[in-house]
Amino acid sequence: VFAESELLAHVGSDSVCGQVDLYSPYGQGHATVSSWQVGPADLHQGQGKEQEFLHPSSLTYHPKTVQHFLTNKYDSLKGKKDKRAMPQGAGGEVERRAEPGLRPAATSSNCMQKRDQALRVPSSYYYPLFIEKEYNAHAEIHLSESTYGIFAYQEMRSIHAQFFYKHSRFRHSKLSDSVTHIVAENNSYLEVLDWLKGQAVGDSSRFELLDISWFTACMEAGRPVDSEMKYRLMEQCQSPSLNTPALEMPACIATKVSQYSCQRKTTLNNYNKKFTDAFEVMAENYEFKENEIFCLEFLRAASLLKSLPFSVTRMKDIQGLPCVGDQVRDIIEEIIEEGESSRVKEVLNDERYKAFKQFTSVFGVGVKTSEKWYRMGLRTVEEVKADKTLKLSKMQKAGFLYYEDLVSCVSKAEADAVSLIVKNTVCTFLPDALVTITGGFRRGKNIGHDIDFLITNPGPREDDELLHKVIDLWKKQGLLLYCDIIESTFVKEQLPSRKVDAMDNFQKCFAILKLYQPRVDNSTCNTSKKLEMAEVKDWKAIRVDLVITPFEQYAYALLGWTGSRQFGRDLRRYASHERKMILDNHALYDRRKRIFLKAGSEEEIFAHLGLDYVEPWERNA
């Protein structure tokens, strides 16, 4: 149905409803359609504008020249134009005999040759209708007899269409009574309902409102599949109470679970860890392959199952839940039946996955660098260390130097100790400063891999050099092992970023601090033992991120830096799709009212979005 450049459609039945043969440079296919909707605004308004017709005795078609043909009205075929009025209503046929067929330009491409064969269809009645305006409105075209159309897709949604037809009839645009399914991509349930109201549809309950994933499933199956709950667009409602008995939950929960994690409460009590661990392995593997779509599919599924207040023990438990696609469903089913997933096991044993897993564990190493090292034949961290030809960044050098410490978990006690160091240092220069630990530790986790701090000043006094002063003091104290300061690039008038994973523009520092471990009493040890203990390292390298934020943006920064990452993604997606707002770590912008919404707390941000407040420890999505 969709092609990047052009499409030839052959309606073989006597009416528009029925089987359609589709041809494009990328192959052939079939579809069933109920109507074609194309056209400029003047047709939408019902104006009987005279159209241009052409009697093509021999038409040469090539994708590179379609734009020339359309915009220049086939200047190459001068003298063969024939102006006629558009047939109105069920008017009589336009009868003008043409020489048989369409002859496309020769090409060596196999797929183009297939298209050429499709184009060579004998016919004796062809008249093209030229439409040379943008798709700013719709006119419904009812095709009859054998009809051939070529679509040329242009940039900026400016679409030109050319139809060859024997008999056409135009009617005022409206939603056909035969429509049963409506498919939306990146549109919410409420947005589709608003659109239906604009179509003057009385009873919208007769339609199946479906996500684009339903259409994809149909294409994969080669037939229309059932409109299961997972494909349906639904009005979002609140997550079920966690007080409901677990045995009663599966039957009543499915229709109430939101697709957005910001409308669910996800604590650290994960009843489905065997499934979510498997999904996270699959997501990580797709992340290493830079396949964002499948990565997000598994992350959303993991997030959903983490929020369930019961253990999934049978396939019926997930019936009707959102975010559960066929890949996810297959893995759940296999784990239920076999206790493990063969696909996940295959990934865990995959050489590329294992190498990327090791490489990305190094501070400063991402997917791009991992890909480079893997292509060089490197497979382990030890091999990278041994290769003296590699040019490492300053961050990567620090990552390898303190590798053992940085890959080990940071405990809550260690986080509290670092928090005390950070607060004491910051308050040395700015006594009124507010220093808040964020990330997983704010969400109630007992372990992590780094510690994030948000620093702001609620008082009138500000210090633009605060971060530099803190770093300089740590250098003098011998606590600083590494630091990378990124200056603020925030522009006050700039709208929030539309990207759900956008990095903010605050001044920040990625550092590695030396945390001294508590000394043990060695007074009872002999001399040799004391010397041996003296040589043992008495400190641990800990990753610390410091973020400086203006006080008026503190609530938004706190919400963003608290996470989880999936919770933040869904919060921004919800703001955009359901509330017509743009949210990032700096601000919330209402696109309808065209104003920035101020907030002094996270509670106020949730209120702006029309959401119930979710506590930090309930955001472990």
Bind-site residues for Mg(2+): 450, 452, 545
Separation CA 320–CA 90 (nearest Å): 46
**Which among 116, 211, 405, 450 is annotated as catalytic?**
450
Which CA distances in Å does 423 have to 268, 340, 454, 504? Answer: 27, 46, 11, 23
Contact status, residue 164 vs residue 122, Cβ threshold 8 Å: no
Write down the residue that tokens 């605050």 correspond to.
Answer: 506
Our separate counts of H helices and E strands in the chain read: 22, 25
Query: Of 452, 504, 570, 584, which residue is the catalytic one?
Result: 452
Q: Is the dihedral of CA 78, 84, 85, 88 positive or negative?
A: negative
For 39, how many CA atoms within 13 A lie in the half-sphere containing its CB? 22
Catalytic residue selected from 326, 484, 545, 590 = 545
Residues pairing with 454 in the sheet: 436, 547
Structure-block tokens of residue 385: 């260390």
| 399 in Cβ contact with 481 (< 8 Å) | no
Q: How many CB atoms lie within 10 A of CB 542?
A: 24
Is 326 annotated as catalytic? no
416 is catalytic: no
Q: Which helix (H) or strand (E) holds 435?
A: strand 434-437
Pair of tokens at residue 8: 């030839």
Distance CA 532, CA 375 (A): 43
Mark whether 405 is an active-site residue: no
CB 250 within 8 A of CB 310: yes
Q: DSSP characters for 450-504?
A: -EEEEEE--SS---TTHHHHHHHHHHHHT-EEEEEEE-----TTPPPP--TT---
Annotated binding site: 450, 452, 545
Which amino acid, residue 300? Answer: R
What is the rounded CA–CA span in Å between residue 490 and residue 505?
5
- Burial pattern 128-149, b for ≥16 Cβ within 10 A else e, equals bbbbeeebeebbbbbbbbbbbb
Identify the burial level of 413 via C-beta atoms within 10 angstroms of its C-beta, where 0-12 means exposed, 13-18 middle and 19 or more buried: exposed
Give catalytic residue positions: 450, 452, 545
